[in-house]
Amino acid sequence: MLISVIVTTYNRPDALSLILKSFNYQTDRNFEVIVADDGSGKETRKIINRMIIDSNYPITYVWQEDEGFRLSQIRNRASLKAKGDYLIFLDGDCIPRPSFIEIHRKLAQKGFLVAGNRISLSEQFTQTVLDKEEKIWNYSLLEWIKVFSQKGIDRLHPLFVFPYFDSLRNLKDNWKKVRGCNFALFKEDYFKVNGCDCSYEGWGYEDSDLAIRLIRSGLKIKSGRYATGVFHLYHRENDRTSETENLNKLNDVLNSDRIKAENGIDQLKL
């Protein structure tokens, strides 16, 4: 089964470069990466052009005009280009470990969305990683313990991988555990609910909206903790001007029986 990894990005070419390099080290080789660009400038395009040559896996580039934060729409555009039957969504500030694809494949299960997690890097350590282009995905546990002791990461326990017991993994219908930075599901399930709702513009709650509608369509939530943790590079908090408006949209969904996005993949095809 080909896996399509959709990496969203916006004007952070140094982070994107590291992420794309890290995918060269995956233990599972049957995947493609689709860079979903929400309107970045020329520097990001230069990174893509270089990595298409330097990468040992296929890269597809999907770009849309910069008209504000339109994460939902660029995710949907990228999903239309996906050749794989299984989709992993990853934010463009999250660096995967070498086992990332392999473990997501092991967790993949019909009727489930896998909610992954992350380990956050400090501002200082993030700058060091970017300046030196550190291959942190290859760090040993001892190296990470040292980084943790120096307050370079916020926690250690997501680095450990535990067996795939249902008692650890089954979150049933807990949509609050789904975070857009790292989640995965079968493409047919994503398309069944018409993907993300593009009416969410600006920061906030588009991933919760998606999770709620997927649960109503029959999916359960499976935890990716102690298995899929990625390294989240520090960034300043996003502009939250639209948070209240988006929260109101989410409450409308919660108080409805809606399953399909009113403004989703189907509307992009028109």
10-residue mean pLDDT series, the chain (270 residues): 97 97 98 97 96 96 94 97 98 96 94 94 97 96 96 92 70 80 96 96 92 96 91 86 92 94 89
Give the single-character DSSP code of 161. Answer: -
Residue type, 253: V
Residue whose tokens read 């108080």: 255
> What CA dihedral angle connects 187, 48, 105 and 130, to 10 degrees?
-130
Specify the number of domains making up the chain.
Answer: 1
Give the single-character DSSP code of 7. Answer: E
The continuous run of DSSP H or E covering 204 comes out as none
Q: Assess contact for 107 and 35: CB atoms under 8 A.
A: no
Strand partners, 231: 95, 119
Rounded Cα distance, 270 and 267, in Å: 5
Domain region containing 171: 3-268
Size of the chain, expressed as the number of residues it contains = 270
Q: Give me the pLDDT at residue 172, please.
A: 79
Strand partners, 61: 35
Q: Give me the pLDDT at residue 168, please.
A: 65
The continuous run of DSSP H or E covering 182 comes out as strand 182-186
Q: Assess contact for 211 and 178: CB atoms under 8 A.
A: yes
CATH number at residue 45: 3.90.550.10
Q: Give me the pLDDT at residue 163, please.
A: 67
Q: Give me the pLDDT at residue 242, please.
A: 86
Rounded Cα distance, 201 and 82, in Å: 23
Give the single-character DSSP code of 104. Answer: H
Q: Which two tokens stand for residue 75?
A: 């995710």
User: Whole-model pTM?
Assistant: 0.94
